[in-house]
Amino acid sequence: MRIEIDEKVFDVMLEYEQIKKRIRLIGIQLNVDFENRIPVFVGVLNGSFIFLADLIKEIDISSEVTFVKVSSYDGEKSTGKIKKEIGLQMSLKDRDVVIVEDIVDSGETLRYILDMIRAEEPASINVCTLLLKPKSLKTNFEEICYVGFEIPNEFVVGYGLDYNGLGRNLKDIYRAVPKSEL
């Protein structure tokens, strides 16, 4: 199915049912890995809010949730400059931290967030991302332990991800259709 957002055309890449099944499996793994611990899930706004909301419903162990907000995108492209808009709202010292990202692309934003959290001296840091673009990564991160889907280096929207502020509300994830395919 094709949709149009702000004069850009998108095709379905991942349907909501696929996403839900994968999140259920990630939740099971997190429950096992953090059994007898109380992790803090740090959602990276704005993109992760839907993923984190669905993920936390699969978590049976005691846990806490907080958010940070950073920005680096302008439309489809990263500006390369990361701006902290909302910082940490709680101490993470000696805590088990799970950073929840919607997408890890180049890794620049993740590096920034990891540095912010490392400064808090947590007991452990793990990253859980719904989408990972391995071919776009500029750095390998040993902290990335939970990945929903590896995707090609394409621009995507939906399920929390946006294009010019639009499309976050879409249940499925869509990929931008290159002009050559229109």
Rg (the chain; Cα; Å) = 16
Q: Is the pTM of this model over 0.85?
A: yes
Q: Are strands 8-14 and 173-176 parallel, antiparallel or unpaired?
A: antiparallel
CB 54 within 8 A of CB 23: yes
Domain boundaries of the chain, sorted by first residue: 16-152
Average pLDDT, the chain: 92
Whether residue 75 has pLDDT greater than 60: no
Distance separating alpha carbons of residues 37 and 122, to the nearest angstrom: 13
Encode pLDDT of 116-141 as tens digits. Answer: 999 999 999 999 999 999 999 888 89
User: Which residue in the list 54, 96, 102, 105 is annotated as catalytic?
Assistant: 105
Q: Which residues pair with 114 in a beta bridge?
A: none
pLDDT of 41-53, one tens digit each? Answer: 999 999 999 999 9
User: 74 catalytic, yes or no?
Assistant: no
- The alpha helices in the chain, defined as continuous H runs, are 16-33, 49-56, 108-118
Q: What tens digit of pLDDT does each residue of 23-35 get? A: 999 999 999 999 9
The whole-number average pLDDT for the span 96-108 is: 95
Amino acid at 67: F
Contacts of 87 by beta carbon, 8 Å cutoff, 6+ apart = 68, 116
- Predicted local confidence at residue 78, as pLDDT: 55
Q: Who wins on pLDDT, 86 or 134?
A: 134
Highest mean pLDDT of the ranges 56-60, 87-91, 103-107, 138-142: 56-60
Determine the CATH number of domain 16-152.
3.40.50.2020
Bridge partner residues of 98 (DSSP): 41, 126
